[in-house]
Amino acid sequence: MASSILTKSVCNAMRRIAPPILAGSWDNTGLILESPVKSASAAANRVLLTIDITPAVCDEAISSGVSMIVSYHPPIFRGLKALTLATPLQGTLLRCAAAGISIYSPHSALDSVYGGINDWLAECIGADADRVSILNRDDDTRKLELGGDGRRVTFDPPISMEALEGRIKNGLTLSQIQVGYSPVRPDRLVSSVAICAGSGGSMFAGMRDSADVWFTGEMEHHDILAAVASGTHVILCGHTNTERGYLPLLASKLRAELEAARAKGFKSESGLGAVEVIISQADAHPLQFV
């Protein structure tokens, strides 16, 4: 059974946007679910972008008549011994397959690629392009040409923590963030910021160069304690809050790649019509301040 033209086209486009070689060895990226069913929707060439596939997002995808979901987080991360309706996650996968919806996940490859999520976070804090570098460089030259793990931003002259916090709130459109101030650094001046979308504890632990601030979505409690005790301020914004704001940029990139493929007449995508790329309205951070 051959893949649909839309599935092939979106997979090819996403591989160009976020090359799989950049994905972490621990990750599960690529085509996660391929439905053998053809969507009955008249708007079959419709793609939905989301951070997670929750039951609400699944409902939205089916009601919107999409044939493909690009889910930043992979809905299958580890091996499954069964696919049943017993759990919501597996239920959403079965419902998508039955509705003719396939799923692609770029995850850590989209974090690492130049122009990806970590570079977007660097832009959110007002970093000049020439002051942004890879946080953990890989010795593989093929990867270095495409991107790398995390980002390190430097400021000269330094900026205050208050200024950095304001930039983050504005860039991520958040009214509140969590901050751990290190008592070792009472002046709270920032010359360097280490950035990791999502959960940054393990990446920061492997850094070659220290940073005044660690900026990420979430970290484990004892990692936070260790960081502030050693002289590093910590800024946490909520895991998916450091990722969701990138979806409009991803939508633009995906539209451009699909249109370019149509214009160039790629053989594997011959016959692809116009594709509508939409951003999920049901996708949201699971926690709220109350």
Give the pLDDT confidence score for residue 233 in this predicted structure: 98
* CATH number assigned to the domain with residue range 114-242, chosen from the 4 options 3.60.20.10, 3.40.640.10, 3.40.1390.30, 3.40.190.10: 3.40.1390.30
pLDDT digits (tens, 9 = 90+) for 182-198: 999 889 999 999 999 99
Instruction: Provide the whole-model pTM.
Output: 0.94
Q: Where in the chain is the domain with CATH 3.40.1390.30?
A: 5-109+244-279, 114-242
Whether residue 1 has pLDDT greater than 70: no
267 falls in which pLDDT band (50, 70, 90)?
Answer: low
CATH fold of the domain at 5-109+244-279:
3.40.1390
Q: How far apart are CA 257 and CA 12, in angstroms?
A: 9
From start to end of 106-148, where are the E strands? 132-136
What distances in angstroms separate CA 167 from CA 123, 162, 174, one per listed residue? 10, 9, 10
Give the pLDDT confidence score for residue 38 in this predicted structure: 82
Q: Tally Cβ neighbours within 10 Å of residue 42.
A: 8
Whether residue 2 has pLDDT greater than 70: no
pLDDT mean over 78-98? 91
- Least Cα distance to 154 among 208, 191, 195, 209 occurs for 191
Q: Tally Cβ neighbours within 10 Å of residue 25.
A: 5
Whether residue 220 has pLDDT greater than 90: yes
Which of 213-222, 256-265, 268-277 has the weakest average pLDDT?
Answer: 268-277
Annotated binding site for a divalent metal cation: 73, 111, 239, 243
Task: Share the mean pLDDT of the chain.
Answer: 93
pLDDT digits (tens, 9 = 90+) for 54-81: 999 999 999 999 999 999 999 999 888 8
In degrees rounded to 5, what are phi and psi of residue 218? -155, 155
Give the pLDDT confidence score for residue 105 in this predicted structure: 98
Give the pLDDT confidence score for residue 136 in this predicted structure: 85
Annotated binding site: 73, 111, 239, 243
Position 142, amino acid: R
